[in-house]
């Protein structure tokens, strides 16, 4: 229970009541102010902060009920205790519906007054704490938010909202760093499965033998090293969503098993013959063009169709540069919090460079750039010099560092190869062609400069 001194306002036209309440509360260490009518009371409320208000219902002039309405409108966190005569208890009950904390019926004892004030002060504390928590939650939600108001993002988010309400399998495609995983999370969070697990499986990360058991689980002794029975990711995701990232990387053998899992909605652990039912929504993602993988025989056509019930393509950032300003603001805010900085603005030349850059690494690259710039910045502003080392605005700036030292040819070559490689998503043949060198030479340079 709180016994901290608080600031309390008493609004009552009866001097005797004001004085007696004042005495009781002052004895408790509270700071008490009084007003003889509603207008005077509201004036005090405008000027000072009160932790609680005692309000007589029957006041000359402005009525108690009206005073209550105004207090609740201007400072909903302030608890108001209504004082009422026996005859008006009914209307006192009515004031609770209008937001009063509680009522005290005259005559009341000092102890009754003390208890009700203490409770009111506690309720105020809880109220303000819950507001603070809500703000924290809102802020966190904002950080995981999909930012973007470009026409393509608006259209895409509309599809996301509609598809979230269903159990349809979704295939998200897009270059590396365009936000495929973030979008998958968003679909899960909008869906009725939001309180169940969202399980991410990186299909490129595991060797085939382990991958099957990772997905579907295994029974004890089913292979060397299987000492315990293990739940697969599908079982872990039961009731929720499984996100199969880099789906184009799975072998044809696993593709067949995955197809069965999707069709039958059941999985069989490695080493077992008994299938288990699972209730899982599937979202897959890839930065390859899956249809091409089907053509080249790397990906099963039937699985491709099963997965792409709802295909969603995330355009690369260079095709939606209208999103860049919002993204900059979003990532500055996020990294200000993370790095305890207070970056307020971006210098015009830095902004221009950020807007003109092609972002081959898409939003991930933009995010990393801002994260580093926020950390590097020595004042409240991101300047071009905070971006330079990254190669932003590089087309010019890495050749002509303002005020800096000029680079060697080898450094420029390294930087340039890196940029072209990134712009071509690591495709070496294409990069070699653009650079006018043969693939072997490029590979040698990649090795030399540790670009891989
Ligand atoms: N529209 C967006 N708004 C805010 N943040 C975004 C947005 N898109 C992506 N991000 C952020 O950019 C980073 C990269 O996104 P994500 O990991 O979802 O990309 P990806 O497409 O899965 O990349 P990869 O193919 O390399 O796995 C994440 O930190 C993500 O939060
Ligand atoms: Mg990803």
The tens digit of pLDDT for each residue in 417-445 reads: 988 887 777 889 989 998 999 999 999 99
- Terminal CA-CA length for the chain: 62
Total residue count of the chain as it appears in this document: 452
C-alpha–C-alpha distance, residues 379 and 242, integer Å: 43
Is residue 49 within 8 A of residue 128, CB to CB? The reply is no
Residue 391 has pLDDT above 70, yes or no: no
Q: What percent of the chain has pLDDT over 70?
A: 93
201 alpha carbon, closest ligand: 2
pLDDT value of position 444: 93
CATH of domain 151-315: 3.40.50.300
Between 130 and 139, name the one with better pLDDT: 130
C-alpha–C-alpha distance, residues 136 and 430, integer Å: 47
pLDDT value of position 226: 78
Confidence of residue 2 (pLDDT cuts 50, 70, 90): low
C-alpha–C-alpha distance, residues 336 and 329, integer Å: 10
Q: Is 176 in the pocket of ligand 1 (CB under 6 A)?
A: yes
Contact residues for 288 (Cβ-Cβ < 8 A; gap 6+): 248
Q: Residue 166 corresponds to which tokens in the numbers above?
A: 């269903």
What is the Å distance from ligand 1's center to 179 Cα? 3
Q: Is 324 in the pocket of ligand 1 (CB under 6 A)?
A: no
C-alpha–C-alpha distance, residues 80 and 51, integer Å: 9
361 alpha carbon, closest ligand: 1
pLDDT value of position 245: 95
What atom of ligand 1 comes closest to residue 172's alpha carbon? 21
What atom of ligand 1 comes closest to residue 367's alpha carbon? 12
Is residue 32 within 8 A of residue 26, CB to CB? The reply is yes
What is the Å distance from ligand 1's center to 416 Cα? 25
What's the mean pLDDT in 75-86?
Answer: 88
What's the mean pLDDT in 81-96?
Answer: 81
What is the Å distance from ligand 1's center to 363 Cα? 6
Q: Residue 348 corresponds to which tokens in the numbers above?
A: 């015009």
* List of E strands, 258-335: 266-268, 275-277, 281-286, 310-314
Is residue 439 within 8 A of residue 417, CB to CB? The reply is no
Is residue 380 within 8 A of residue 347, CB to CB? The reply is no
pLDDT value of position 392: 64
pLDDT value of position 437: 92
360 alpha carbon, closest ligand: 1
Question: Dihedral of the CA atoms 234, 236, 241, 242 (nearest 10)?
Answer: -50
What atom of ligand 1 comes closest to residue 181's alpha carbon? 18
Residue from 172, 175, 181 to probe ligand 1 pocket by mutation (most atoms less than 8 Å from CB): 181
pLDDT value of position 419: 80
pLDDT value of position 143: 63
What is the Å distance from ligand 1's center to 426 Cα? 18
CATH superfamily of 7-140: Response regulator (3.40.50.2300)
pLDDT value of position 234: 94
What's the mean pLDDT in 25-51?
Answer: 93
Q: Which fold has domain 318-448?
A: Helicase, Ruva Protein; domain 3 (1.10.8)
Residue 302 has pLDDT above 90, yes or no: yes
What is the Å distance from ligand 1's center to 210 Cα? 27
Residue 364 has pLDDT above 80, yes or no: yes
Contact residues for 420 (Cβ-Cβ < 8 A; gap 6+): 431, 434, 435
C-alpha–C-alpha distance, residues 385 and 376, integer Å: 9
C-alpha–C-alpha distance, residues 316 and 358, integer Å: 10
| Residue appearing with tokens 């801002």 | 370
pTM score, whole prediction = 0.63
Positive or negative: CA dihedral 34, 35, 38, 42: negative
Q: Is 393 in the pocket of ligand 1 (CB under 6 A)?
A: no
pLDDT value of position 259: 95
C-alpha–C-alpha distance, residues 293 and 288, integer Å: 8
Phi, psi of 78 (to 5 degrees): -85, 115
Q: Where in the chain is the domain with CATH 1.10.8.60?
A: 318-448
Q: What is the DSSP letter of 407?
A: P
Between 409 and 181, name the one with better pLDDT: 181
Q: What is the DSSP letter of 319?
A: G
Q: Where in the chain is the domain with CATH 3.40.50.300?
A: 151-315
Between 216 and 228, name the one with better pLDDT: 216
Q: Is 172 in the pocket of ligand 1 (CB under 6 A)?
A: no
Between 2 and 415, name the one with better pLDDT: 415
Q: What is the mean pLDDT of the chain?
A: 88
Q: Residue 257 corresponds to which tokens in the numbers above?
A: 């098993």
What's the mean pLDDT in 25-29?
Answer: 95
Q: Where in the chain is the domain with CATH 3.40.50.2300?
A: 7-140
Question: Dihedral of the CA atoms 425, 431, 300, 166 (nearest 10)?
Answer: 20
Q: Is 364 in the pocket of ligand 1 (CB under 6 A)?
A: yes
pLDDT value of position 229: 78
| Residue appearing with tokens 């005569």 | 85
Q: On the CB side of 178, how many CA atoms lie within 13 Å of its CA?
A: 25
């Amino acid at each position: 229970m709180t016994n901290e001194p608080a600031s309390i306002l008493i609004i009552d036209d009866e001097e005797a009541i004001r004085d007696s309440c004042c005495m009781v509360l002052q004895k408790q260490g509270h700071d008490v102010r009084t007003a003889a009518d509603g207008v005077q009371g509201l004036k005090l409320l405008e000027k000072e902060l009160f932790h609680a208000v005692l309000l007589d219902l029957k006041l000359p002039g402005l009525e108690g009920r009206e005073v209550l309405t105004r207090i609740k409108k201007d400072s909903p966190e302030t608890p108001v205790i209504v004082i009422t005569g026996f005859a008006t208890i009914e209307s006192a009950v009515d004031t609770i519906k209008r937001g009063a904390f509680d009522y005290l019926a005259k005559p009341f004892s000092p102890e009754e007054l003390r208890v009700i004030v203490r409770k009111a002060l506690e309720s105020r504390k809880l109220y303000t704490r819950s507001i603070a928590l809500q703000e924290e939650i809102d802020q966190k939600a904002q950080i995981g938010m999909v930012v973007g108001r470009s026409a393509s993002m608006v259209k895409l988010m509309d599809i996301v909202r509609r598809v979230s309400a269903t159990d349809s399998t979704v295939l998200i495609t897009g270059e590396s760093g365009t936000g495929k995983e973030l979008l998958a999370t968003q679909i899960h969070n909008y869906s009725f499965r939001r309180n169940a697990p969202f399980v991410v499986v990186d299909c490129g990360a595991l060797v085939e033998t382990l991958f099957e058991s990772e997905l579907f689980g295994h029974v004890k002794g089913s292979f060397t090293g299987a000492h315990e029975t293990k739940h697969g990711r599908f079982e872990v995701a039961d009731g929720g969503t499984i996100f199969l990232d880099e789906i184009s990387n799975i072998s044809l053998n696993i593709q067949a098993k995955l197809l069965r899992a999707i069709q039958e909605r059941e999985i069989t652990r490695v080493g077992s013959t008994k299938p288990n039912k699972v209730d899982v929504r599937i979202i897959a993602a890839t930065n390859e063009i899956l249809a091409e993988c089907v053509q080249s025989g790397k990906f099963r056509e039937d699985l491709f169709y099963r997965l792409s019930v709802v295909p969603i393509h995330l355009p690369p950032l260079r095709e939606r540069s209208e999103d860049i300003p919002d993204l900059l603001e979003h990532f500055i805010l996020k990294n200000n919090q993370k790095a305890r900085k207070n970056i307020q603005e971006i210098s015009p030349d830095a902004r221009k460079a950020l807007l003109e850059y092609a972002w081959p690494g898409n939003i991930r690259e933009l995010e990393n750039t801002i994260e580093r710039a926020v950390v590097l910045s020595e004042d409240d502003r991101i300047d071009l010099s905070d971006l330079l080392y990254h190669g932003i605005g590089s087309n010019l700036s890495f050749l002509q560092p303002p005020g800096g030292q000029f680079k060697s040819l080898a450094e420029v070559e390294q930087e340039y190869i890196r940029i072209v490689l990134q712009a071509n998503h690591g495709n070496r043949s294409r990069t070699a062609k653009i650079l006018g060198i043969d693939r072997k030479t490029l590979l040698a340079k990649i090795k030399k400069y540790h670009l891989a």
